[in-house]
Structure 1
Amino acid sequence: MLREEILAGRLQGGSPVREHEVAERLGVSRTPVREAVSRLVAEGLLLKDGNRTAHVFRPSLAELLEIYEIRTPLESLAARLACESPDEEFLDALETAGDALRAARPGIDWARKHEAFHLCLLAGSRRPRLTALVRTLRVQSEPYVRFAVAFDFELREQARQDHLEIIQLARRSAAEEVERRVRAHLTATVTRVSALLDSHQVPAPGAAPAEP
């Protein structure tokens, strides 16, 4: 119920989601509400800092574009560094992460394994400062990706194809091609997510529910 209310725009971006209020409104105990909130936080539809009240994710096109403007060159650089002289351990780990992602169930399972794949590629750069910077930017942008995937199933399919190509290129130590593929992958992602936000297909703060 909570998920549907968020996706339909009935709960506006930035709105607080207090467990006791939701439980009272729905006529249920707080336990299933608490579990639902935890799942929605994992999906990126709700944001929660520490033990404070969860809030509905508030998408911002300007924020998204700024994050990717910084993230794209850094993450594609890390991918190139990871594939310049990749060892077998790294390649096996990347392939295992790719296999897990292809077998992932839609939703939280896919989101977690998608993140695991990219973090594996990132770690292969063996550049701790670069890795830390990109990880921070990924944390900031991941809610947008998770939010968009709930609307755009083609985004997940395109990501699957991109990840497979990245693994194949990494196996050939085609570092510069990996860099270009990752850059194109990130550019395509931000373009699709931006289009969803710009066209109001993703509920913005105060947006009315879409007509059936």
Structure 2
Amino acid sequence: MDEATAADRSLADETYSSLLEEILSAQLSGGAVIQERRLALRLGVSRSPMRDALGRLEGQGLLVRNAKGVLTVKVITLADYLNSIAVRLMVEPSAAALACNMISSEVLAALREMLEKIESDPDPLPAFVWAFDDALHNGIATASGNRFLADIIGQMRRYTTIFERQRKLAQRKPGLSDHQAILDALTARDAEAARNAMTEHLEHIRRNVLSTY
């Protein structure tokens, strides 16, 4: 790969990451029309990396075509959300159990430090709360040692994250006791406890969302 091609690839990756974060954080909300030229100008990129990034997001189902063929941000419905949680319930407890033997003490210490900051802060920044949630769940998925599990968890978490953030369903300090139980089980290297703690956490999330409807 020559330098020009590598630079184009890097710029496309950066553009993709920027747009993905805007979708996950609800800056680009469900149903929003994607205006390629305007987005390219705002992000300061040419249309080539923008088209590459949009193609990837469309391929992942986060962008869809409406009846007129216009590219829009996918609206995550309650059914989408519940189906995503159902898939997570099938795979994420297993990932937590597998991670007990793989996740490092350094990662666990960093996660515990983040959780303690959230717990001690009367009004933690939502961005920091979401950063912890991402670090915990993505860290467990990666530490499972199973790339396929990690890919599925990552994809399903995108849908649940978009739904929660677009509808502002997350509490100021969501799932503190659940997250503590997961970290305790991982620290103890207790696979069954980690499996059960993750299952209980996801069930709590599902019930909390249903209670708002």
Of 192, 197, 203, 1:187 maps to 203
- Counterparts of 1:123-162 in structure 2, within 5 Å, are 123-148=142-167, 150-153=168-171, 156-162=172-178
Aligned residues of 1:86 and 1:173 also touching (Cα < 8 A): no
- Counterparts of 1:65-76 in structure 2, within 5 Å, are 65-76=82-93
Aligned residues of 2:169 and 2:209 also touching (Cα < 8 A): no
1:77 alignment partner AA: S
Per the TM alignment, residue 140 of structure 1 is displaced from its structure 2 partner at its CA by 1.9
Please list every run of 5 or more consecutive structure 2 residues that lacks an aligned counterpart in the other structure: 1-28, 36-41, 43-61, 64-69, 119-123
Please list every run of 5 or more consecutive structure 1 residues that lacks an aligned counterpart in the other structure: 1-11, 19-30, 32-47, 200-212
The aligned residue for residue 139 of structure 2 is 120
SS of aligned partner of 1:126: coil
1:168 alignment partner AA: D
Of 157, 175, 178, 2:191 maps to 175
* 2:94 counterpart of 1:77: yes
Q: Which fold has the larger relative contact order, with Cα–Cα distance below 8 Å and residues 6 or more apart in sequence?
A: 1
Runs of 4+ in structure 1 deviating by more than 6 angstroms, as ranges, are none
User: In the superposition, relative to structure 1, how do residues 100 and 86 fare at CA in structure 2: closer, same or farther (>3 Å)?
Assistant: same
Aligned residues of 2:102 and 2:144 also touching (Cα < 8 A): no
Identity of aligned pairs, percent? Answer: 19
2:108 alignment partner AA: L
Aligned residues of 2:31 and 2:72 also touching (Cα < 8 A): no
TM-score by length of 2: 0.60
Across the aligned residues of Structure 1 and Structure 2, the Cα RMSD in angstroms comes to 3.2
Per the TM alignment, residue 96 of structure 1 is displaced from its structure 2 partner at its CA by 0.6
Cα distance in 1 for partners of 2:170, 2:151 equals 29
Per the TM alignment, residue 113 of structure 1 is displaced from its structure 2 partner at its CA by 2.3
Residues 96-118 of structure 1: per-residue CA shift (max 9 Å, x gap): 12322442533223212211111
Per the TM alignment, residue 180 of structure 1 is displaced from its structure 2 partner at its CA by 0.8
